[in-house]
Chains A and B, each alone.
Chain A
């Protein structure tokens, strides 16, 4: 019986949020007197797979069937369910992500599992199994009692900071029987901006709104992001106007992020925008309007023109 962690790959590397999930799962294993096993799907080399040990997993089940090269939530759920069965796992941990969401839902259906999404603390086991999660798009928290035999915890990014140790996990090939039905959706085309830092994974985010006036002005945002090794994001009107791709839109109806640093440039700070970014650890707001509501939710603020301030900040970062 072990705690099972689904660790997700991005181009053959364990995602940072999955490293956090492995560490979280290892802590739950310690609390429940079991070990932590990670299940990893898709092509990756053995050294990378074994590196799950750095975050506390003792074993990695590697499913490398050629059919699993493309991320596919339905087939991944079949694999993880089979791994949970083999390991006798009653607790399954994973990092919340677009792929993990699709996978988790099918998995919960298969296992009749009690599920908590956006988990932000280790469980409390003193009286049953209780976890704290973020709800109302970051505006509140819930203490959830998970009553089902199998429990799935989808961890919000930046919930836990992994301590790394000098250890490797043993790697075992894992080849469960796959369902043909899981492969009926055919992928025709994938468009991905390559080389950029994935927004949901980013520790630092530079974001801009309608105050930038037009897509041709995004250079100053990108320059600061590049200097900081940050991802870029935007407000909803900016993606609605097609100034930036929809995958950068953060907020109530966009992506929810929780980076260590969120720098908002020329964004008013409407409640719907805040809803997607309010769990950032540090918020910086740059706006020429001293009455912009965003200043009320910021840690640091500058009243000023983004066209003047951003290039100066970029220079200051480069000088660090």
Chain B
């Protein structure tokens, strides 16, 4: 069985976001880049499936050279080889096109990725890839088990969850609690250095969307503290001042 895990390289979740060049670029100074937290779930489940079924895992990133540390970490966690498509991943359709092109060459049984990236929060790439390949896509996936070529899946829906079955090949957008995040061990880190990481140039170049500029939200006004012994006034203030109840 062949699994493709697609990962993003994103600013660490605690990063204070700032922009440079007249608000046209992310200020990368001092920012630690990590694997997208949802992608970490996808990779962790792939590693568990590899342990059970002997599957091979290829990790794929659409990104520039500075995402290689993130790719190496995925190799250290258990992916067998890696592909980096050398392009800036700003447009969901463009990223999906790159993934679909690789998938067409290599017929994977499972294509796993996070349910969304935590930078642009589009949550669209898995579905577009599924459409391009003509195979089903399911997201957000909370549980995944395989029974031969049938996947048993639990998906989150608004206010609940849904159990599904579908035949491989599939594209899945993953989230917790599909697996526990894995931390690379020393042996993994050592072997990751020698695992193949292939860099390929992108195909299909038109981006359907581009970001003209960025902006930060206006700061919230100062907090109005209400003494605990008159907590009830909060309800009056929400009613008459904030007018939300």
Give residues 112-139 of A contacting B (CB, 8 Å): 112-118, 130, 132, 134-139
| Cβ contact within 8 Å between A189 and B163 | yes
A78-119 contacts to B (CB < 8 Å) = 97-99, 101-102, 104-106, 108-110, 112-118
Which residue of chain B has the shortest Cβ distance to A315 in the bound complex? B232
Nearest-Cβ distance from residue B128 to partner chain A, whole angstroms: 4
Q: Give the distance in Å from the alpha carbon of A184 to the alpha carbon of B137 in the complex.
A: 11
Is residue B96 contacting chain A, with contact meaning CB distance below 8 A? Answer: yes
CB distance from A170 to the nearest CB of B (A): 29
Contact residues, A262-320 vs B (CB, 8 A) = 271-272, 275, 278, 281-285, 295-305, 308-309, 312-313, 315-317, 320
> In the complex, how many angstroms separate the beta carbon of B192 from the nearest chain A beta carbon?
25
Question: Could you tell me if A138 and B217 are in contact, using CB atoms closer than 8 angstroms?
Answer: yes
Q: In the complex the two chains form, is A145's CB within 8 Å of B212's CB?
A: yes
Interface residues on A, range: 35 or more
CB A148 to nearest CB in B, in angstroms, measures: 4
Beta-carbon contacts of B205-218 to A below 8 Å, as 1s and 0s? 01111111111110
Total A-B contacts with CB atoms under 8 angstroms apart:
271
B21 at the interface (CB under 8 A from A): no
Chain B residues with Cβ under 8 A from A272's Cβ? 13-14
| Residue B157 CB within 8 A of the other chain | yes
Chain B: residues with Cβ within 8 Å of the partner, total of: 80
- Tell which of B52-60, B72-80, B220-228 binds the partner: B220-228
Contact A275–B214 (Cβ < 8 Å): no
Contact of B165 among A139, A186, A260, A315 (CB under 8 A): A186
Assembly CA distance A198 to B237 (angstroms): 26
* Chain B residues, Cβ within 8 Å of A77: 131
A106 adjacent to B130 (CB under 8 Å):
yes
Chain B residues with CB under 8 Å of A130's CB are: 212
Q: B228, A112: Cβ atoms under 8 Å?
A: no
Taking CB atoms, residues of chain A closer than 8 Å to B224 are 299-301
Main secondary structure, interface of A, reads mixed
User: Which of A108, A113, A240: most chain B CB closer than 10 A?
Assistant: A108
CA distance A205 to B183 in the complex (A): 35
Within 8 A of B (CB), among A183-202: 184-193, 196, 198-201
- With an 8 A cutoff between CB atoms, is A228 at the interface? yes
User: Which A residues form the contact surface with B (CB < 8 A)?
Assistant: 71, 73-74, 77, 97-99, 101-102, 104-106, 108-110, 112-118, 130, 132, 134-148, 181, 184-193, 196, 198-201, 203-204, 228, 240, 245-247, 252-253, 256, 260-261, 271-272, 275, 278, 281-285, 295-305, 308-309, 312-313, 315-317, 320
29 chain-A/chain-B pairs, Cβ below 8 angstroms? A71-B157, A77-B131, A101-B124, A102-B139, A108-B93, A108-B131, A109-B93, A117-B122, A135-B120, A135-B214, A139-B216, A141-B214, A145-B210, A147-B207, A188-B165, A189-B162, A192-B160, A201-B158, A246-B161, A247-B160, A252-B37, A261-B244, A275-B13, A299-B224, A300-B238, A300-B242, A301-B224, A305-B228, A316-B234
Q: A106-B128, A114-B91, A141-B217 are in contact. List 11 more A-B contacts (CB 8 A).
A: A105-B127, A105-B131, A106-B130, A108-B131, A114-B93, A141-B215, A142-B211, A143-B211, A240-B176, A261-B245, A309-B231
Q: Name B residues whose Cβ lies closer than 8 Å to a Cβ of A.
A: 11, 13-14, 16-17, 19, 37-38, 91-93, 96, 118-132, 134, 136-140, 142, 156-167, 175-177, 206-217, 220-221, 223-228, 231-232, 234-239, 242, 244-245
